[in-house]
Structures are given as C-alpha cells and as structure tokens.
Homo-oligomer: A and B are copies of this chain.
Amino acid sequence: MQIAIVLFDRFTALDAVGPYEILSRLPDARTVFVAERTGPVRADTGFLAITADRTLAEVPRPDIVVVPGGPGQQEQMDDEPLLDWLRTADATSTWTTSVCTGSLLLAAAGLLDGRRASSHWLALDRLARFGAEPTGERVVLDDKYVTAAGVSAGIDMALTLVGRIAGDDHAMAVQLATEYDPQPPYDAGSPQKAPADLVEKLRSGSRFTLT
C-alpha cells in the first residue's frame, strides 16, 4: 500500500508527520514524501526540512494521498502542476486525505465539490468558498475523502483510517505502540473550548495564525 505525503514550501510539519507516523504502521505500508522537486522542503517555521524522496511525477498512483496544510498552502492554490497531480492521483486513489488547510488544496483541485469536509478552524469559511460543505468536526469522512481539522488532528484522522483499512485491532495496536493516550495540560484546543479572548486574538491574525 503506497502512501504519498505531499510537501511544499512552508507546510506545517506536524500536519504531515502525524499521519506519517500512524499510517506507516499499516500492513505493507510504503510511505513516500513527494514534492515538485526532490530534496529538502522547508516547513513554515524555517527550522525544519523534510526530504522529498520522489517527485510528484514519479508517484502517479498512490493508494493514499495525504495533503498537509500550513501557511505555504496559499501559494499552491493556483499551482497547476500540483493541482493536476492531485486530480490524477485522486482518480485511482483508495483514499484522498488532508490535514488542516490541505483541504483547501483538495478543494482548489475540484475534489471536494458538494462534499462535507474539515479544515483548520480559521479556514472553514474559505473552504465553503470552494464549494465544499465545511464542518467543525475533527475528522470528516465523505466517501473516500477524509479531511481533518488543524495540525494535530491528522493523528486522529490517520488512526481512523487505519481502523477502516486494517481493522480495529490493528488500529488499537498502533495507538498503543505510539502511546497515543493524550493528556493535554489545558483544554483550549478548539474555538469552542478556548477562552474567547484567545480565539479573537488568533482570528485577528497574530503570529500564532497558521493559515
């Protein structure tokens, strides 16, 4: 089972590495990081680079497509080679997935028309403008399209997908192996739960903003 994770300049690293860590534990998983060019691709902070081992053209028919988000997503919205690749890969994929603002790229490629989908909470409005039906849910499955909320939600998305593909026992074994028993020290992980002034601060575009 080939899993292609797309990289582009200024992606958000955890968007990509969360699903990578979980999906790579599928039976017979062959995960490959792909980009327009091979070589290191720098994340949004500038502090981290992940190697793209293959070009998009070298991986035309992955079983699973994973598209992360991040501030760099905006520059890819009219990147025809990437959008073309997404459409081509999607034509034969078993699952087409995204994390965070990666769903905006799937939508820009025309893959989410009329579909329920998720994205970073700050990007849900924009998702609607591209013809998708945004929900505030953490993981949204609509046919073979699986979209996750912001950044850390890719872990939940991937574990959900492992359950669908390999069964609950395998998914639970992966959860146990990665000791995914989250215990956040605060309960501020969604705009419904966080203090209103923090939600406003992020909405008004502070340096925390990811999208």
Contact = CB atoms under 8 A, between A and B. Distances in A.
Contact of A13 (B21, B149, B175): B21
Interface residues of A, number: 69
A196 B72 CA distance: 44
Contacts of A190: 176, 179, 181
Interface stretch (A81-89, A106-114, A201-209): A201-209
A78 interface: no
B180 A151 contact: yes
B150 A179 contact: yes
A190 to B, nearest CB: 4
Interface stretch (A59-67, A90-98, A127-135, A156-164): A156-164
B171 A199 contact: no
A105 interface: no
A103 interface: no
Given A14-B21, A32-B47, A188 B172 contact: yes
Interface string A64-81: 000000000000000000
A121 B179 CA distance: 8
Contact of A152 (B53, B138, B182, B193): B182
B159 A185 contact: yes
A165 interface: no
Considering the complex of A and B, which 9 residue pairs feature the smallest CB-CB distances, nearest first? A181-B189, A150-B179, A172-B188, A182-B182, A14-B21, A31-B47, A177-B208, A49-B51, A151-B178
Given A152-B180, A159-B184, 16 more contacts: A13-B17, A24-B45, A139-B183, A151-B180, A156-B184, A168-B186, A169-B195, A171-B186, A172-B194, A175-B186, A176-B198, A177-B210, A178-B189, A180-B184, A181-B193, A182-B182
15 contacts: A14-B18, A14-B20, A17-B17, A40-B51, A50-B51, A150-B178, A150-B179, A151-B179, A152-B155, A169-B198, A173-B208, A176-B190, A179-B189, A180-B189, A181-B190
